[in-house]
Chains A and B, each alone.
Chain A
Amino acid sequence: VIPAQDEVELLAVLLAAAHAAVYGYGVLGARLDEPARRTARSAVDAHRARRDALSARLRERGADPAPGLAAYDVAVADRPQALALAVRLEEGMAVRWRDLVGGTDDQALRRQALSGLQDAAVRAATWRRLAGAGPAVALPGTA
């Protein structure tokens, strides 16, 4: 069996994106009213859970999961910007999850990546709908 170094790299990229998503949702959630704020809270919970699972997958492979940064360069002035950022975060996560779907033969890892891709695309569609934006791209994760 070839050591799956590429898996480790893909996992590390995903972990960094998940840290950023958790931070980003914290910022954008503050600019939303209910019930959108509740949707943001449930999204941040989901990203936290996936972030922790990604850290675990990295440790299983002998890699050290990197912590998140102290701060990220995000500015959200109002509701439209908050919704736009949420769409961007989810569509960005979809790209990275898709990379892992097509970058591993490990069944458990692919299952996890597929689920991450599906959830990100569904949340992106939810945010697009709230933003009154058009439907998502035809192939989530390729944007």
Chain B
Amino acid sequence: VTPTRLPRPRRPPARGRPGRPRRRPPEAAAARELALLARYDAVLAARPGLSARLRPLRGHHAEHLAALRDPSASPSPTGAAPSPSAAPPTVPLPADDAAALAALTAAERETGQAHGRDCLAASRPLAAVLGSLSASELSHAVALA
């Protein structure tokens, strides 16, 4: 058995859209975090008045990325924010603060559920990280409401 650098799921994921390359859980989760960071950046650029409310939550996602890159590492207190390199998903510009918050809330919920699904099939250390990430996104939905 050749050790791999990243934990593998014990069984192939049942979900996944055809035509889309399958990603291993930490990579898929990191891609979701990058997409959320891009969403936050788009909203922060368009609605600067939401900055005080959104900055701390955006900071959490930067810490999530760091935790995914090293599941054994303890969370960094500063949460240095990497800048997303991936192009954001097509995000319609929010018409007002309420629309911006509603869109972020929906994205947080969706991401929290996706992390939760991957958590169930992951190795133990990764499952703990994905569990925390899932719980964090779902609690962000409360903070944004």
Question: Interface residues, chain A, CB within 8 Å of chain B?
Answer: 94, 97-99, 101-105, 107, 110-111, 113-114, 117-118, 120-122, 124-126, 128-129, 134-142
A–B Cβ pairs within 8 angstroms, 25 of them: A102-B124, A103-B124, A104-B124, A110-B127, A118-B112, A118-B116, A118-B135, A121-B135, A121-B136, A121-B138, A125-B139, A129-B142, A135-B56, A135-B57, A135-B60, A136-B143, A138-B63, A138-B75, A138-B136, A139-B63, A139-B64, A139-B75, A139-B129, A140-B139, A141-B128
Q: Which residues of B are found within 8 Å of A126, using beta-carbon distances?
A: 142
B120 adjacent to A125 (CB under 8 Å): no
B139 touches A113 (CB 8 A): no
- Chain B nearest CB from A53 CB (Å) reads 17
Chain B residues in 8 Å Cβ range of A136: 136, 139, 143
Please report the C-alpha to C-alpha distance between residue A101 and residue B135 in the assembled complex, in whole angstroms: 12
Instruction: Tell me whether chain A's interface is mostly helix, strand or loop, or mixed.
Output: helix
Known: A98-B132, A102-B131, A135-B143. 10 other contacts (CB 8 A): A98-B131, A114-B131, A114-B134, A125-B139, A125-B143, A136-B143, A138-B75, A139-B133, A139-B136, A141-B128
A1: shortest Cβ distance to chain B, in Å?
14
Bound-state CA distance A97–B128 (Å) is 9
Report whether B135 and A110 are in contact in the complex, using a CB–CB cutoff of 8 Å.
Answer: no
Interface residues on B, range: 20 to 34
Contact, CB under 8 Å: B135 / A111 = no
Q: Please give me the residue from chain A that is nearest to B141 by CB atom.
A: A122
What CA separation (Å) do A41 and B79 show in the bound complex?
A: 36
Chain B residues whose C-beta falls within 8 Å of the C-beta of A134 in the assembled complex:
56
A129 touching B135, Cβ below 8 Å? no
Pair B64/A138 contact, Cβ less than 8 Å: yes
List B104-144 residues whose CB lies under 8 Å from chain A.
112, 116, 119-120, 124-125, 127-129, 131-136, 138-143
Q: Which residue of B lies closest to A94 (CB)?
A: B135
Interface flags, B33-60, vs A, CB<8A=1, else 0:
0000000000000000000000011011
On whether the beta carbons of A125 and B142 are closer than 8 Å, the reply is: yes
Residues of B within 8 A of A107 (CB): 120
**Which residues of A are found within 8 Å of B119, using beta-carbon distances?**
101, 110, 114
Of all chain A residues, the one with the shortest Cβ separation from B79 is A138
Return the chain A residue nearest B57 by Cβ: A135
B74 at the interface (CB under 8 A from A): yes
CA distance A118 to B138 in the complex (A): 7
Task: Give A131 to B127 CA distance when docked, in angstroms.
Answer: 31
